[in-house]
Amino acid sequence: MANLLIIDTATEACSVALTFNGNLYKQAEVAPRMHGELVLPMVDEVLQEAGIKLKELDAIAYGQGPGAFTGLRICISIVQGLAFGAGLPVVGVSSLQAMAQGLYMAKGEKQLLAVIDARMGEVYWGQYQEVDGLMQLVGEETVCSPELVTICDADASNVYQGVGTGWKTYASELSEALNMPIVVQTEPLYPLAEYMMPMAEHLLKLGKAVPAEQALPIYLRDNVAKKAKEKQE
């Protein structure tokens, strides 16, 4: 098992998780617009609990999005700074995959539809299914209006589970668009760092870790600022 620090600030939740010698240490708080103040103290807390220095880890993982523009920039800048200072590689994990993985870890559900409220009348959307203990993406992650979501290779015999803030905001629109029964879960509502641990370890084993300067966010929207301006007009 890899020794990893994971940081996520892609949504309203700010979270940090650390695994070291098989032990898990974690911190999380739902606090919109406070990620910049919270995340580094959370990192210090888990390192102190484990009694280790950052340089003793194998890598730093991070929530790469999709998610809030500001939150993703905070995460990337902090991860890069920590990784540069400790000489560690980095690996990114999808925010949508994290929610799917969290529900699988909690309840063993294997067909997941993860949706994050993207604001501006849109959602970040991803379909996942379990393969060898990991929730793997089916098709592509996308950003679209809730009325346009679709399931790849929909199978009426499968029971699909819905997870994420998108279901809370656009339950009726999503249900109408999919036109099939969906069991909507109230938790996890947000991606958390601890849910990213299995995929981060998997990617590390596959040699997917990269130098700190290559840590990149996944916005899905090509031009966030432009869309925000259009929404105000």
CA angle 76, 80, 83 (to 5 degrees): 135
Residue 233 clears pLDDT 80, i.e. is over it? no
Residues 6+ away with beta carbon under 8 Å from 71: 9, 10, 11, 35
Q: What is the mean pLDDT of the chain?
A: 93
C-alpha of 41 from chain center: 20
Q: Please state the rounded mean pLDDT for residues 10-37.
A: 96
Lowest mean pLDDT among 56-70, 151-165, 208-222: 151-165
- Domains contained in the chain, CATH given: 4-94+191-232 (3.30.420.40), 96-184 (3.30.420.40)
For residues 28 and 196, what is the distance between their CA atoms, to the nearest angstrom? 13
Crossing angle for the helix pair 69-86 and 35-50, to the nearest 10 degrees: 40
Answer whether 200's CB lies under 8 Å from 18's CB: no
Q: What is the pLDDT of residues 166-187, one digit of tens each?
A: 999 999 999 999 988 899 999 9
Categorize the per-residue pLDDT at 222 as very low, low, confident or very high, splitting at 50, 70 and 90. Answer: low
For residues 89 and 67, what is the distance between their CA atoms, to the nearest angstrom? 23
Categorize the per-residue pLDDT at 156 as very low, low, confident or very high, splitting at 50, 70 and 90. Answer: low
Read off the amino acid at residue 24.
L
More confident call, 226 vs 72:
72
For residues 125 and 116, what is the distance between their CA atoms, to the nearest angstrom? 7
Residue 211 clears pLDDT 90, i.e. is over it? yes
Residue 226 clears pLDDT 90, i.e. is over it? no
pLDDT at residue 106, as a whole number = 96
Q: What is the pLDDT of residues 74-127, one digit of tens each?
A: 999 999 999 999 999 999 999 999 999 999 999 999 999 999 999 999 999 999
